[in-house]
C-alpha cells in the first residue's frame, strides 16, 4: 500500500462521485427488486433488519474514520503499519459486535415480530466481514486512493444487490435473501482486502489497536447512524405491518437523499483532518447542501415517478409523502458532513447533540405514532436541529484552528 499521493482534485472527486452514485443505485436496487417479490409485511421486516445492520455497523464507520485520519497523517513509511492497525482493530471490534448481535437476536425477533430467530442470527453473520471492509475502506480513504475505494464501495453494493436479485428470483423469502447476503459480505470483504494486501502481514503482528479511539468516535458516528436509521425499525415496531412496508418503500428515497451526497464527505474528510482553519469544512457543507437541495426539488417535481420506480404502481398512493421523506434525508446529509468535520478535529461533542435529538425523536414517535407523515416529520425536525447546531459551531470556529494530534497509539486496546 502506497502513501498518499495528494491528488485530491477533479479526478478524485469524479472517481468517488461516480462510484458512490453507482453503489447507491445498486443498494436501492435491492429494494426495487424485493418490493416486487415480497409482501409489504415481509418487505418491512427486511428493511428493518437492514437498518439494524447499519446500526450494528456503527463502530465500523468510526473505525473507517479513525483509520483514514491516521493514514492521512502518516509519514510515507508509516502508511502500511497504520493500515495494519486499522485492519487488526476491525477484526477485534467486529467479533465483539457479532457476539453482541447474536446475544440480542431473541430481542430483535420479538420487537420486529419476526417468524423466528433465523433472520436475526443470519444478520449477525454479516457483521464481521462488514467491519473488515470498513477498515480497508478507511486505509484507502486516508491514502487518497479514491479509485480503489470506489471499486470497493461498488463491490459491496453489487454483492448485496446480487443476493437480493437471486434470492428474490428464486422466491427464497427474507431468510434466504439474508443467507445469500452473508455469503456476499464475506466475498466482498476479501475483495476489499486486496488493495491493502501489503498491510496484511503487519496486521498479524503486534501493531497498536485503536479500540479506545473507535469507542470515542462511535459516540458521534453511532448517534448519526442511529438517528438516520431508527425510523424504519420504529415503523415496523409501531405501525401496522402493511403501513410499515409502505414506509420502507418511501424510506428508500429518503436514504437516497442522505447517501447521495455522501461522496463529498468521503472526499473532504482527509483534507478536513489535516487542514488548518474552517475553509475546507465550509466548502464541504456548502457543496453538500447544494446537492441536497437539488434532490429535494427533484423529489417535488418527480414524486410519482420516483415512488413507482421504487415500489411499483401498488405504492403510487404514497406520492404526496415523497418530498417529506427526501427532505428528511437531505437534512441529515448536511448534518453528516458537520459531524465528520468535528470528528476530523478530534471533537465528539456534536455527536452527543445527535444522541439527544435521536432520544427525543424516539420518545416523540413512541407517544404519538399513528402515521407515516408523523415519523418522517419528527426525523426531519431532528436533522434540521443538528444542522443548525453544527452551522453555529462552524461560524464560531477560529480561522487558525488546528487538528488535534493523534494520541491513540498510547492505547493498546
Determine the structural domain holding residue 243 and report its residue range: 10-400
Higher pLDDT, 166 or 7: 166
pLDDT for res 219: 67
What pLDDT, on a 0 to 100 scale, did the predictor assign at position 16? Answer: 67
Contact 161, 26 (CB under 8 A): yes
Report if residue 202 sits inside a domain: yes
- Specify burial of residue 191 (Cβ count, 10 A radius: 0-12, 13-18, 19+): middle
DSSP letter at 400?
A: T
- In-domain check, residue 409: no
Tens digit of each residue's pLDDT (9 = 90 or more) over 213-242: 787 767 666 777 788 888 888 888 888 888
User: Do 261 and 135 form a contact (C-beta atoms < 8 A)?
Assistant: no
User: Is residue 328 predicted with pLDDT exceeding 90?
Assistant: yes
Given a cut of 80, whether residue 165 has pLDDT beyond it is yes
- What confidence score (pLDDT) does residue 133 get? 95
Average pLDDT of the residues of the chain = 83
| Residue at 83 is within a domain | yes
| 328 is a domain residue | yes
pLDDT surpassing 60 at residue 403:
no
* pLDDT above 50 for 89: yes
What pTM does this model have?
Answer: 0.69
Q: Identify which has the larger pLDDT, 410 or 357.
A: 357
Q: Let me know if residue 173 belongs to a domain.
A: yes
Residue 4 lies inside a defined structural domain of this protein: no
In this model, does residue 14 exceed pLDDT 70?
no
Averaged over 74-101, what is the pLDDT? Answer: 84
Q: Which residue has the higher pLDDT, 6 or 334?
A: 334
| Cα angle value 271/274/280 (rounded, 5°) | 45
Does some domain include residue 412? no
Question: Is residue 352 included in any domain, yes or no?
Answer: yes
Q: How confident is the model at residue 5 (pLDDT cuts 50, 70, 90)?
A: very low
Please give the tally of structural domains in the chain.
1
Amino acid at each position: 500500500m502506497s502513501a498518499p499521493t495528494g491528488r485530491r482534485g477533479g479526478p478524485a472527486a469524479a472517481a468517488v462521485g461516480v462510484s458512490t452514485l453507482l453503489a447507491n443505485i445498486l443498494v436501492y436496487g435491492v429494494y426495487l427488486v424485493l418490493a416486487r417479490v415480497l409482501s409489504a409485511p415481509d418487505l418491512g421486516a427486511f428493511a428493518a433488519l437492514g437498518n439494524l445492520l447499519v446500526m450494528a455497523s456503527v463502530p465500523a464507520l468510526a473505525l473507517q474514520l479513525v483509520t483514514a485520519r491516521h493514514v492521512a497523517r502518516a509519514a510515507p513509511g508509516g502508511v502500511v503499519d497504520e493500515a495494519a492497525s486499522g485492519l487488526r482493530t476491525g477484526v477485534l471490534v467486529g467479533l465483539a459486535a457479532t457476539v453482541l448481535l447474536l446475544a440480542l437476536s431473541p430481542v430483535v425477533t420479538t420487537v420486529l415480530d419476526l417468524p423466528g430467530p433465523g433472520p436475526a442470527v443470519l444478520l449477525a453473520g454479516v457483521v464481521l466481514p462488514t467491519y473488515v471492509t470498513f477498515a480497508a475502506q478507511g486505509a484507502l480513504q486516508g491514502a487518497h486512493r479514491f479509485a480503489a475505494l470506489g471499486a470497493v464501495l461498488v463491490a459491496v453494493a453489487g454483492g448485496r444487490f446480487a443476493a437480493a436479485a437471486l434470492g428474490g428470483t428464486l422466491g427464497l423469502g427474507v431468510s434466504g435473501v439474508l443467507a445469500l447476503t452473508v455469503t456476499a459480505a464475506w466475498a466482498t470483504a476479501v475483495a476489499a482486502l486486496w488493495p491493502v494486501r501489503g498491510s496484511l502481514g503487519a496486521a498479524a503482528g503486534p501493531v497498536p489497536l485503536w479500540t479506545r479511539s473507535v469507542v470515542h468516535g462511535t459516540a458521534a458516528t453511532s448517534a448519526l447512524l442511529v438517528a438516520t436509521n431508527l425510523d424504519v425499525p420504529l415503523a415496523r415496531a409501531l405501525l401496522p405491518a402493511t403501513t410499515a412496508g409502505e414506509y420502507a418503500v418511501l424510506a428508500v428515497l429518503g436514504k437516497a437523499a442522505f447517501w447521495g451526497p455522501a461522496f463529498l464527505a468521503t472526499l473532504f474528510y482527509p483534507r478536513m483532518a489535516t487542514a488548518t482553519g474552517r475553509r475546507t469544512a465550509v466548502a464541504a457543507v456548502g457543496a453538500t447542501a447544494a446537492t441536497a437541495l437539488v434532490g429535494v426539488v427533484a423529489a417535488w417535481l418527480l414524486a410519482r415517478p420516483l415512488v413507482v420506480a421504487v415500489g411499483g404502481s401498488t405504492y403510487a398512493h404514497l406520492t404526496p409523502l415523497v418530498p417529506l421523506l427526501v427532505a428528511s434525508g437531505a437534512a441529515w446529509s448536511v448534518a453528516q458532513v458537520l459531524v465528520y468535520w468535528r470528528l476530523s478535529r478530534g471533537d465528539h461533542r456534536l455527536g452527543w447533540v445527535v444522541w439527544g435529538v435521536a432520544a427525543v425523536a424516539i420518545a416523540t414517535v413512541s407517544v404519538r405514532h399513528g402515521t407515516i407523515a408523523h415519523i418522517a416529520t419528527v426525523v426531519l425536525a431532528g436533522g434540521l436541529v443538528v444542522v443548525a447546531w453544527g452551522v453555529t459551531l462552524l461560524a464560531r470556529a477560529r480561522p487558525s484552528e488546528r487538528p488535534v494530534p493523534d494520541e491513540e497509539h498510547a492505547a493498546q486496546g
